[in-house]
């Protein structure tokens, strides 16, 4: 598998961006939105993290910083995964976009914006992707009722 020294080096370097732990074999860094781009640039340029796997958010309705934006990266050379977490408040749920670094960010950030209303600063194409144009609200937020329906075409009974 991967050399342990690589994970140690990664932990030491990522520590400048926030607290780092290793959880279930994944390096997890709790960073902040202003530091995110720096951390990702470091991952891409120094540690060959060439695949941007996933971005999503976790809703913690009782916290002041309500949303936890979670990025996952994978290095095809070192076979390591990294998770970056950054907390944003409900009033300004803004994190920088990764569009300039990874092409795959375009679609995945659109999904995260659909579901949680996270704004990706610098991504000017946050059109609806899994939802439709005109959908009101963000369905994966905990305060969105599961039963609420927004039919495009009125029901015919």
Partner 1 sequence: MGIAINPLSGLPSSASAPGSKIPNPIRTSLTDHEREGSVIVNIGPSHPATHGTVQIVAELDGERVLRTDVHCGYLHRGFEKECEDHTWHNLIPYVDRLNYCSALINDFAYCDAVEQLMGIEITPRTRYLRTLLSEYSRLCDHLTCVAASMMELGAMTAFLYMVMVRDYMYEHLAALTGARVTYSYGRIGGLADDLPLGWLTRLEEILRQYEDFIGRVHGLIDRNRIFIDRMRGVGVISTADALNWGFTGPILRSTGLPIDLRKDTPYLAYSELDFQVPVGINGDNYDRYYVRMREMDESVHMMRQLMDMLPAGPINVDDRRCIFPPKTLVYNEIESLINHFKLVMEGPSVPPGDIYVAHEAPNGELGFYIVSVGGGVPHKVHVRSPSFVHMGGVHKMLNGYQLADVITTFGSVNMIGGECDR
84, 39 in Cβ contact below 8 A? yes
48/41 Cα distance (integer angstroms): 10
136/133 Cα distance (integer angstroms): 9
Q: Which stretch binds partner 1 (CB under 8 A): 8-16, 31-39, 87-95, 125-133?
A: 125-133
Residues 35-74 that bind partner 1 (CB under 8 A): 50-54, 56, 58-59, 70, 72, 74
Lookup: tokens for 43 = 């991952």
118/95 Cα distance (integer angstroms): 8
* Nearest-approach distance from CB 83 to partner 1, in angstroms: 6
- Residue 92 binds partner 1, judged by CB under 8 A: no
25/81 Cα distance (integer angstroms): 8
Residue whose tokens read 């996270």: 118
* Nearest-approach distance from CB 20 to partner 1, in angstroms: 15
- Residue 90 binds partner 1, judged by CB under 8 A: no
Residue ranges binding partner 1 (CB under 8 A): 1, 23-24, 26, 50-54, 56, 58-59, 70, 72, 74, 76, 79, 81, 83, 102-104, 106-108, 111, 115, 125, 127-134, 139-140, 142, 144, 146, 152-153
């Amino acid at each position: 598998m991967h050399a342990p020294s690589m994970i140690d080096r990664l932990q030491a370097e990522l520590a400048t961006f926030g607290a780092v732990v290793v959880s279930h074999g994944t390096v997890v860094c709790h960073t902040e939105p202003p530091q995110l781009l720096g951390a990702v640039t470091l991952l891409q340029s120094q540690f060959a993290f060439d695949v941007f796997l996933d971005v999503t958010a976790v809703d913690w309705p009782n916290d002041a910083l309500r949303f936890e934006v979670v990025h996952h990266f994978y290095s095809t050379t070192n076979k390591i995964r990294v998770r970056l977490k950054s907390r944003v408040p409900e009033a300004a749920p803004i994190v920088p976009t990764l569009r300039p670094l990874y092409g795959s960010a375009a679609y995945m950030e659109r999904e995260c914006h659909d579901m949680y209303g996270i704004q990706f600063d610098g991504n000017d194409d946050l059109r609806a992707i899994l939802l439709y144009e005109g959908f009101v609200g963000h369905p994966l937020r905990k305060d969105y009722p599961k039963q609420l329906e927004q039919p495009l075409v009125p029901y015919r009974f």
